[in-house]
Structures are given as C-alpha cells and as structure tokens.
Chains A and B, each alone.
Chain A
Amino acid sequence: MSLVSGPGRGGTHNQDALPDQLKLAVDQHVRYIRNLDTRKDELQYWLTEHLRLNGVYWGLTALHLLGHPEGLPRDATIKFVLDCHNIDGGFGAAPGHDSHMLYTVSAVQILATVDALPELESSKYGGKAKVADFIANLQDRESGTFAGDEWGEQDTRFLYCAFNALSILNMMDRIDVDKAVAYVKACENFDGSYGRIPGAESHSGQVFTCVGALAIARRLDLVSQDRLAAWLSERQLPNGGLNGRPEKLEDVCYSWWVLTGLSIIGKLHWIDKSKLSNFILRCQDTEHGGMSDRPGNMVDVFHTCFGVAGLSLLGYPGLRKVNPMYCMPDDVVQKLPYWHK
C-alpha cells in the first residue's frame, strides 16, 4: 500500500459542479486504492515503509465503507498482517520492523474488519494473548497512560490504541482501565477540549483519542459534553470544512476527528452538515480518485479514508455505516463480544 501523494488533486474535475451536483466518485476511489499497492517502483513507497501497516488499514477501511470490501485480496492482506507480527507479540509497520502500538492496533483492526481474528492464533509468535501482553506491558502503571514502545514517549494516542485493540480482542481486563481513564480525565482543559498532556493546547486529534477512549471504556459521563461540543462546533469554517484548532486551516481529516466527538456525544446538529459534506466532496479528484486535505492539494490514502469515513458519519447515501469510536464498519464492531453483551 503506497502512501505516496497523488497523482490526483483534490477539487479537480469537479470545480464547476453546483453544490448539489457534487457526488462521491466511488468507482474512482476504489480503483485509486487498489492501484496503490502496485506502485512499488516509486521511492516514496519505500520511504514510507515505516507506515505500511497503517496504510493498509486506511485503504481497507475506505474500501469497506465504500461498499467494495473485495477491493483488496483477503488472503494476501491477512498474510501481510501476520508477516508483520514480531516475537514480542506486537506488530511492526512492515515485515522486519520493530513492534509499536500504532501498527499493533492497525493489525487488530484489519483482521477484525476482514473477519480473520482467529487467524491470530496461527501466528508462530503467539495469538491474541501474546498481542495483549505486548499492549499491557506498555502501560505506565503509575500514571495510567501508555507508551508506543519501550523506547518512545507517552501519549494519549497510544492509550486510545490500547483501548481500541484490547476491546476488539475482548481483553480489557489485562490493563488498569480505571487508571487510564483517570489520566484521560486529567487532560481536559478549561474549554472542555483535550490536549496531549495536562495543560497542553486543546487539539481536535486529542479530542478523538480522549473521547474515543472514554467511549470505549463506557465513561462518557466524564466528558463536559456541552462545553466540548461548543468547542468542536467552532471548528467549522465558512467554507464548510473543519479545522483542528482555533484560527487554523480546514483539513478533510478533521471531518473525522472532530465529527466523531460530536457524533459520540450526540451533537452532530451543532454544525452545518450539508456544508461539511460539500466540502469533503470538493476534496476529491473525481477522475483519478482519492481525496486531499483541502481542494487543490495532492490526494493520499490517509485523507481518502477519513474523508469517506466523515461522509459515512454524515449519512451520505450508499456508504456502509462507520463506527465513530473505532473508524471501522459499524456492523463489524457490533458483533464483537465486548459490545455484544
């Protein structure tokens, strides 16, 4: 899965469309994603090797939401994921890469999406118990938060990843959920939003990880819902797009990070949904496929995934329903033992 940008550009081939004429170019996006894995002749393919497993997750999720799960071959995908499995139980970005929380959660999400979680048990490095071991060992038992690996820094992103993966595996009891929840609570600022550590600048990405984690832990009571929703609604700019922090530019990926927060706390109607929908549609290259961060820029699989997910959350017709906590097909999430109680 290539993480190169382009060749398409957002906003091309549909600049003259009237707002209500804008449509989602499903076939072109499917073709764009399928072609990504064939671009091994570009240097960027290799320079982004350290993101490869994330790339597969973004591409696969977009295909599933677009209604084309067959777009990536299931067996090859499963094999690639298992090839990324390491002896410590975690997953690396690509075969031979060191394990990290970010790739471990992608691995688990991919397997769940293609209904292949039992395949984990066939890995020579152990099954889900080993994966859970890897994740549990990354929790700082004192503060409650998580590191990405044994060397790196702590961040609520990794806390969210741990909750995401372990709930999918139905092994949340392996970690101290209460301590982690307390840490998330400590990251809330006076404006109701969240920063990456206590006292840090409020940021939409952190809202996704913090609120997502609390939602998975079934602790949404800890969110200052009205104040947070007000802050999130202020992310919408006159052009309909959403930004990540006050006075910054719009970016299609915030259609996801901001939208999930509003969706989870039931305040989607505090923004103008049709304006946002039109903004996302204007970020497509309707001929070459793919979406960019904003009209005029090069497309990539990351923004394609979150643009499509945002449209699904907005109820765009024909898309499979997405789950706001996981950014995975909702029907897959609902079948998980953790939610199917």
Chain B
Amino acid sequence: MPPTSTSTTTLLPPEAKPPKSKSQPYYSVHPSWQDVVPIAQVDQAGALAAIAYSPRYSEAMSYLRSVMADTEVSERALALTEDLISMNPAHYTVWIYRMRVLRGMWTGAKAAKVDEADEKQEAGDEAGEIDEALWQNIQRELKWLDEVSFRNLKNYQIWHHRHALVDLLPSTPDTTAFTASTPSQSTETTTSDRHKKASTAAPLTEATKTRLLKLVASEQTFLAQILSLDTKNYHVWSYRQWLCMRFPSFLLPSYTSETPSSVAGTYRSHPEVAAIDAMILDDLRNNSAWSHRYFILFGHHELTYSNIHGVILKNVNEERLLHKAGLVDMPLIEAEIEYTKQEIRKAPMNGSSWNYLRGLLSHSALDISTTRDFCEEFLGPEKDLWMDQYVDVESEDSETGEKQTERQQIGVRSSHAVEWLSEIYAAEGTEEGRRRAKECLRSLGEKWDIIRMGYWDFLGEKMEEEWKQKDA
C-alpha cells in the first residue's frame, strides 16, 4: 500500500516530474496530490505482489482509481493519464478517462459527462465555426498523440483516441452522406449524434474551411509517416478511411454520387491518390493500400448509393446498380485498368493487384473476357498452360563453340491468370473453350496451386454441371 504522507515525509518540489525509476514513489510524496486518498487494488495478495515488482505503476494506478471514482477533471488528472500511458499504453480505461478529462476541461463541463460536453459542442457546430480555444486544444493534443503513436505502433487505443479527437471538429455539409443514420451505414459512433444534425448546420465559414484543410493536410503528412513504419496496420487504415468519410470534399477526388465529369484527367495528382500511389510504389503487395485505393476512387460511391437508396453494399456491386444508373466514371476505370495491369506485370503473383482488377470489372460491369489478351501474356509460348516459368536454354557460343545454358523466364508466370482464363474460356461457349477451361483447372490442381486442389476440383465439377444443364 503506498504510504499516505505524514508530517515527517519529505515532499517533492512542486515542479518535480514523474521519475523514470520503477521503484521511486511520486504521487504519494508530491505536494499537489496530498489531498487524494489512493484506492488500492481489490485483490490484496495481488496488490502486494504488484507493489513488490513495480511500485511506481501500482502507485499510479491507485491514484487513478481515486480520481476516476470522483470523475475529477483537472490538469493533474490529465498528467496522471499521461504518466500511466507512458508506462502501459494498452490500458484501455486510462485512454477513455483521458478523453473525459479533456472534454470536461475544454468545455467547462464540471462533471465531465460527455453528453454535457456534446451539447456545448453542438452550439459551436451550428454556427459553422470552430471555437478558437477548441482548435488550439485539439492541435496540442494531436501533437502529443503523434509522439505517443510513433512510440507505440501496434497500439489500438491511440487510434480510437485520435478519432474521438478529430471528430470534435465541425461536420462539413457532405459528411451526412456517409454518417447518415440509415441502418447499413452507421459506422463509428461518437457519443453524440451531431452528424445527424449536420444537414441543418450553417455552411462553413472561409476561416473554418481553411483550418479544416490545414488539419486534413497535416493528418495526411502524419499518416504517411506512421504508415512508412507499419505499412499494413489495420487500425491506421481504418482511421484513414474514416477520415475520408468525415471530410470527403477535402480527401476524395470526386465525392458526390453524381459524376458530371470524369476525374480521369487529373486524379493522379490529387493528394490522397498520390499518397496511395507512393505506398504502392514502395510495396506493390500492400493489400491495405490497394483496398484504400478502391475505396477512395469507387467504394465510397457505392457506399453513398447504398445509403441513399437503402440497398446493401454487396447488392450495389452484384447487381451493377451504379452501372445501371449511369454513374460509373468509365474514363477513370479505363485509366485504373491500365495502371493495375502495369503493376501486375511487375509481380504477376501478387493477389492484391489481381483482386483490385476484379473490383474494377465488378464496379464497371465490364466482362472478364475483356482481360483475355492480358491474362494470356502470363502463359508460356503459344499459350502453353504447363511450361515451367524458367527454362534453361542451351546455346552455342558462335566464336568459341562452347556450349552455354541460360535461364530464361518463358513459362507460366501467374496462377491468377490461369484461374481467370478458366472462367474466360468456359464463357466462350465453344467445345474448344470448355476443353481449355478444364485444362486450366487441371494445371492449377496438378502443378501451379496444388495446395488448393479441393477448390479447383469444385470449380471443375460446377462447370460440368452448368454445361450439362445448358446442353440439356
């Protein structure tokens, strides 16, 4: 049990910061904390063991329990959360409490009840402005959070905290398109339903727009830095996707569901697209980057449509609803198909790029047969389905007459291409097409992707069934 101070205890000077040492007491001997009675761990035996190993941590936790019991909102409570986060950043409750303290301090809500803080927030929203003090506060907390994020790359709570922080900013009029209260669309929830009121909010002032643009740009810079250290972190990409939905007019190349004109000409220079280009250039096997690319160019249109028309996302895609409504940006699709083919040629076995191509076809209702020539690029000479990728080619040196062998890459270079061709050939409806389709599956099950033999067998049987029915 951390000792309560007596008149004989020497207190630390008021400016003393928490020590790095695991064993030195701090809160119990700090002048600003003398009025607080720490609450020990419930499990007595455990408490003793904890103190024996890390008195600093268990001391800090016992003071946290005390301020949380009183829902204290103060600078010292904030500092305590920062101290605990530095010792144990994965402790979820500490983050939640930190946000409550911040909200309380920033809005003057004494009891730190988030609902009260939200009411004060809404007043600001309706004026289309950001309160100066709030803006500065958010900036300061973000700066602190950036540093913590770099030190704790695998931590999830950090991203939820960031989300809650940035969500304090006013909605932009188009935010409603993505956070409207329809069943299929409710995503991250703040504890308020501010966004539902966004459509009645005043339009943003120029000053506010400038600030939001600045914030969005600095978020993109920060995200680029964090992602360079942990390129596929699902929490980071989730946050990024949320940010795009929260500020679509600033982050998405074309954010309305109407596409009056194609973005194909200029879209590659759009900052968010350029950011993804850079990530794919760095690692073309980054599935998260490809997934985000799909989202910013096409997925968010599908979501908007899904929202507005009350159709679930899967059906929007399966039933080609955007295509039927004339809402597909075909020049953009074509540009992206070319881009993807280029990336596939660099790494023909990369599943992420092939999945993306599949998504493009799906979104635009283009038939898979349009990729036939492309897929056949990855077969052996004369569209051979069995030749090994590398072949030792013998030749004779014309001068010395010496025999040499050279490794050349001329055989099948992509099992994905073979899989696609089985579908393409089967759809041709000819005897030759069917024969080729079956041969594709056989080559996959026997040579190129043996581990998935069960799946190729299944596809073969399914094909036979379909043909039997067609021929009947």
Contacts and interface: CB of A to CB of B under 8 A. Distances in A.
Interface in A238-295: 238, 240, 245-248, 267, 269-272, 275
Interface stretch (A13-21, A22-30, A138-146, A307-315): A138-146
* Residue from the set A50, A95, A246 with the largest chain B CB neighbour count within 10 Å: A246
A191 B191 contact: no
A46 B451 contact: no
B176 interface: no
A97 B351 contact: no
A162 to B, nearest CB: 15
A240 B317 CA distance: 33
A303 to B, nearest CB: 15
A262 to B, nearest CB: 10
Given A233-B452, A270-B452, A247 B46 contact: no
Given A43-B57, A191-B355, A201-B291, A247 B285 contact: yes
Contacts of B58: 46
Interface in B158-183: 160, 163, 181, 183
A98 B64 CA distance: 13
A113 B62 CA distance: 34
B454 A143 contact: no
B160 A153 contact: yes
A275 B295 CA distance: 35
B154 interface: no
A150 B452 CA distance: 44
A186 B184 contact: yes
B50 A201 contact: no
Contacts of B355: 191, 246
B313 interface: yes
Interface in B339-367: 350-352, 355, 358-359, 362
B51 to A, nearest CB: 10
B306 to A, nearest CB: 7
B92 interface: yes
Interface string A189-201: 1110000111111
Nearest to A40: B49
A143 B317 CA distance: 21
Q: Which of A186, A234, A267 has most chain B Cβ within 10 Å?
A: A186
A200 B42 CA distance: 41
A142 B241 contact: no
A50 B92 contact: yes
A247 B287 contact: yes
Contact of A50 (B90, B185, B318, B362): B90
B455 A247 contact: no
Contacts of A46: 50, 53-54, 57-58
A221 interface: no
Given A98-B93, A186-B312, A198 B184 contact: yes
Interface in A30-52: 40-43, 46-48, 50
Interface string B287-321: 11001100100011011001000001110011000
Contact of A41 (B52, B90, B299): B52
A229 interface: yes
B163 A186 contact: no
Given A46-B50, A143-B183, A201-B288, A234 B351 contact: yes
Contacts of B187: 154, 197-198
A201 B313 contact: no
A83 interface: yes
A198 B185 contact: yes
Interface stretch (B30-38, B231-239, B376-384): B231-239
A267 B453 CA distance: 12
A185 interface: yes
Nearest to A144: B183
Given A144-B183, A182-B184, A191-B358, A40 B93 contact: no
A190 B163 contact: no
B96 interface: yes
Nearest to B45: A40
A144 B186 CA distance: 9
A140 B189 CA distance: 9
Contacts of B41: 95-96
B454 A271 contact: yes
Interface string B93-135: 1001001100000000000001000000000000000000000
B91 interface: yes
A97 B93 contact: yes
A230 interface: yes
Nearest to B363: A190
Nearest to A268: B454
B352 A246 contact: yes
A43 B302 contact: no
Contacts of A191: 355, 358-359
Contacts of B42: 83, 95-96
B186 A154 contact: yes
A96 B189 CA distance: 27
A151 B191 contact: yes
Nearest to A232: B455
B81 to A, nearest CB: 14
A199 B302 contact: yes
A317 interface: no
B65 interface: yes
Nearest to B22: A43
Contacts of B186: 140, 142-143, 145, 154, 183
A164 interface: no
Contacts of B351: 234, 246-247
Contacts of B50: 40, 46
A240 B186 CA distance: 38
A188 interface: yes
Interface in A202-221: 202-203
B188 interface: yes
Nearest to B54: A43
A294 to B, nearest CB: 16
Interface in B58-104: 58, 65, 87-88, 90-93, 96, 99-100
Interface of A: 40-43, 46-48, 50, 83, 94-98, 100, 140, 142-145, 147, 150-154, 179, 182-183, 185-186, 188-191, 196-203, 224, 226, 229-230, 233-234, 236, 238, 240, 245-248, 267, 269-272, 275
15 contacts: A42-B53, A43-B53, A43-B54, A43-B57, A46-B57, A47-B87, A47-B90, A95-B42, A143-B186, A154-B189, A190-B314, A196-B238, A247-B350, A272-B450, A272-B453
Given A153-B188, A199-B303, 11 more contacts: A43-B53, A47-B57, A140-B189, A143-B186, A152-B92, A190-B359, A191-B358, A199-B299, A199-B313, A272-B450, A275-B451
